[in-house]
Amino acid sequence: MNKFGMFIHWGIYAATGLHEQALARYNIPHEEYDALAKSFNPTEYDPEEWVLLAKNAGMKYICFTAKHHDGFCMWNTQYTDYNVMNTPYGKDTLKMLADACEKHGMLLSLYYSNPDWHHENGYNAFSTHQWRSRYPERADTKKYREYIKNQLRELLTGYGKIYTLFWDIPPHIQDESLNAYARSLQPEILINDRGWDKGDFSTPEREVPDGARFERMTEACQSVGEQAWGYRADEDYFSVRFLTQSIDKIMAMGGSYLLNVGPMANGKIPEKAHRIVERVGDWYVRMNGVLENHEPYPSIIRLQHTPCVATVKNGKTYLHLYEGCISSSINFDTAPAFPPKSARLVNDGRALGIRFGMLPGWGGRQGLAHGPILSVTDIPCDEFENEPLIIELTW
C-alpha cells in the first residue's frame, strides 16, 4: 500500500456551500437540512471527469464518501429512504462512479461514517461527533450495527472490487465481527483503524508525522481546502508547494496519500480545486513512479541544513528533499565512503554535479577545512521553489 489517491467528499451538504458537517457546525434544523434532498439534482455529474482528473494526476484509486455523518447515503440502499435515489436526480451515483473506475483501471475505495445523525439508533455515547444525533434517547448500538452490516453487504457486493474501507470516527466499541464480515465479502480489502478494531492501516489526517519510515501500513489524508472536506463556497485553498511537500514526505516514508476534493452540488469539482489537482499531478507524474514501491535506504543519510528521506528503487537511491534545498548544493553529513557514479534531478531529468572533497565549512576546528565531504552540486533550487526536489543517485 504505497499509492496516491483522490478522496471525494460529496453529499447533500454540498448544497449548503458551507461544510460537510454543516448540519452540526452551523446548527441547521434537521427538518431544514433534510429538505436539501428534495432539491438535490447534480445534472452535471460526470464520474468519468473525476476519474480522468485523478488518473492524469498519477492517482491509482478514488475513495468515495458513501455515507457521511449526516447519514445521507449516496447509493441505492434498501435500508433507509434517506438516499440519493429519493432525490430529483434519482440515480445511483456510486454505481456510476464504480463503472467509470472500472472502465479506466482506477481502484475504488469506500468511506463510511460511524456517526449517523439521521438514524434513530445511531447515537453513541462512547464516541465523538454525536451532538447532532436526531434521536439520542433511542440509542441502540446493537440495532445500529445490524444496520451497518446490512449496508456493508450492499456496498461490498454491488460495486465491484473494493480496494479499501475507510471507517470514520472511532466508535470506541470493540466489535471485530464487522471487519471480519467485510473481509468475508471482499477477501483482499484493506481496512483502516477508525472502525471497530485496529484494522490494517493507520490514518494520519492533516498532518505529516516525523520520521523516515512508517512502522505500520499508513494512508495519510489532506484536503485541497484548509477549512473543509466537502464543498465550501468561500474555501481557503492550500498552496501547491505545501501539498506536494506533504505528499513527498508521506510517500517517501512508505505511506499512501489521499488528496481530497469536495464537488459542488451540481456534481462538478470547483475550478480552483480542479486546477490544484492538475498542478500537483504535473509534479507527481514527473516523478516517474519513484514515490511508489520503494524500500528505505539501508543506512542513515543526513544532509547539512536540508531535511531528507532516502529511498531505494531498482538499485538507485532517491533523496527526497521534501522542503526543497537552501542552496545549489547538498552536502552529506553521513554518506557512503565513495561518491556515486551520477546524480540526476528527477523533477526535470537534468544531470547534476558530484563533488567529493574539502569544504571551507562554517567555523571548523581551528578554522581548517572540512572533508572529505560528498556533495551534489548544480541544483537549480530557484527554478523549482514551489515543489519538493528528488535527486536520483546511481552508484
What average pLDDT does this structure show over 79-83? 98
What is the average pLDDT across 253-267?
Answer: 98
- Torsions phi, psi for 98 (to 5 deg): -60, -40
Question: Residue 336 belongs to a domain with what CATH number?
Answer: 2.60.40.1180
> In total, how many domains does the chain have?
2
- AA letter at 178: L
Q: How far is CA 183 from CA 164, 167, 250, 277, 287, in A?
A: 11, 14, 27, 32, 34
Same domain, 204 and 315: no
Contact 158, 179 (CB under 8 A): no
Lowest mean pLDDT among 85-89, 196-200, 358-362: 358-362
Mean pLDDT of the 65-94 span: 98
Q: Rounded to a whole number, what is the largest CA-CA distance in the chain? A: 80
Q: Are residue 44 and residue 159 in the same domain, yes or no?
A: yes
pLDDT at residue 74 in the model? 99
**pLDDT value of residue 277:** 98
Cα–Cα distance list, 176 to 140, 169, 196, 218 (Å): 18, 16, 6, 20
Beta-strand relationship, 190-191 and 219-223: unpaired
- What are the tens digits of pLDDT across the range 345-364? 999 999 999 998 888 876 55
| Grid coordinates given for 3 | 499509492
- Which pLDDT belongs to residue 359? 85
**pTM of model > 0.85:** yes
One domain for residues 229 and 310? no
- For the stretch 18-63, pLDDT in tens is 999 999 999 999 999 999 999 999 999 999 999 999 999 999 999 9
Pairing of strands 164-168, 219-223: unpaired
Instruction: Say whether both 22 and 99 belong to one domain.
Output: yes
Please state, in angstroms and rounded to a whole number, the distance separating the CA atoms of residues 11 and 19.
Answer: 10
Cα 395 to Cα 341: distance, rounded to the nearest angstrom: 5
Domain CATH code at residue 121: 3.20.20.80
Give the residue-averaged pLDDT of 154-173.
98
Q: Are residues 219 and 175 in the same domain?
A: yes
The reply to whether 209 and 63 lie within a common domain is yes
Q: Are residues 370 and 229 in the same domain?
A: no
User: How far is the C-alpha of 151 from the C-alpha of 356, rounded, in Å?
Assistant: 62
Domain extent, residue 323, equals 295-394
Which pLDDT value is given to residue 102?
A: 98
Instruction: Write out the three cell numbers for 370.
Output: 572540512
- Do 74 and 81 contact (CB within 8 A), yes or no? no
d(CA 174, CA 44) in angstroms, rounded, equals 41
* CA angle (13, 18, 20) in 5-degree steps: 45
Instruction: Give me the mean pLDDT over the 69-86 stretch.
Output: 98
First-last CA distance in the chain:
28
CB 380 within 8 A of CB 350: yes
Does 376 lie in the same domain as 319?
yes
User: Domain boundary at 263, 286, 309, which?
Assistant: 286
